[in-house]
Structure formats: structure tokens, C-alpha cells
Amino acid sequence: KAGVTQTPRYLIKTRGQQVTLSCSPISGHRSVSWYQQTPGQGLQFLFEYFSETQRNKGNFPGRFSGRQFSNSRSEMNVSTLELGDSALYLCASSARTGTNTEAFFGQGTRLTVV
């Protein structure tokens, strides 16, 4: 079955702009999580959505937001971009069956803020 799909793969934006990233989870998976990966901070949890509701949130400013649609697809938005937002943004999907199951990652969206 198809894996986690993230679009676009690469983005270049200017400081102050906003950006929307998209994630399509594995078919049947209802949980989508977002992570930011940078060389200095590693993989950091942004938030998790399940059944269109945000279930968990990491320690990121309110400029980072997300949503999930009824088909489990998710989008992440970053407003008023800063240079420090340059990172690889990863989406992971999970079946969330009541006990923890593995999270499967997409290829990521590489965001560069100039």
C-alpha cells in the first residue's frame, strides 16, 4: 500500500511569508503527527491530529498550526516565517488502535526561509 505522501518536497520562502505543507497518511491511518527536523535540535514534535482534532501539541509558538480533514489528510501552516524555521518538516501516520503502534514517516518537506 502507498506510504505517507508529503507535498511539496522542497520550498523556498521569504521571511514574513506564510507556508502550508500537506500530508496524506497511509490509507486507514487516522493519526497524523508533524515533526520539525534541524541539525541542531534533531526531531521535535509539533502536534498530532486524530479524527480532525489536535490531540497533542509540542513546544512551538502559535505561528505553527495545523488541521486534519475528514479523509485524514493533514496540513501544517507556518505564518510570519523566520530564518530559524528552515528545516525538514516530517509527517508521520499511525493506525492509533488504542495501544501505541509504529509511526510511518513521509519523505518530508524541506523548507528554506531566506
Task: Name the site residues for other proteins (rule: CB under 8 A).
Answer: 4, 6, 31, 33, 35, 42-45, 48, 50, 55-56, 58-59, 90, 94, 96, 99-100, 102-108
The DSSP code for 80 is S
Main-chain dihedrals φ then ψ at residue 101, nearest 5 degrees = -125, 165
* Min CB(42)–other proteins separation in Å: 5
Instruction: Please report how close the Cβ of residue 83 comes to other proteins at its closest, in angstroms.
Output: 22
Q: How far is the CB of 69 from other proteins (least distance, A)?
A: 18
Question: Measured from the CB atom, is 78 or 103 closer to other proteins?
Answer: 103
CB of 18 or CB of 27, closer to other proteins: 27
Q: Which is closer to other proteins, CB of 66 or CB of 108? A: 108
The long-range contacts involving 52-56, CB below 8 angstroms and separated by at least 24 positions, are 55/31
Residue 4 exposed, middle or buried by CB count within 10 Å (0-12, 13-18, 19+): buried
Q: Nearest distance from residue 64's CB to other proteins, in Å?
A: 15
Smaller CB separation from other proteins, 14 or 100: 100
Query: Alpha-carbon distance 108 to 37, whole Å?
Result: 9
Q: Are 98 and 50 in contact (CB under 8 A)?
A: no
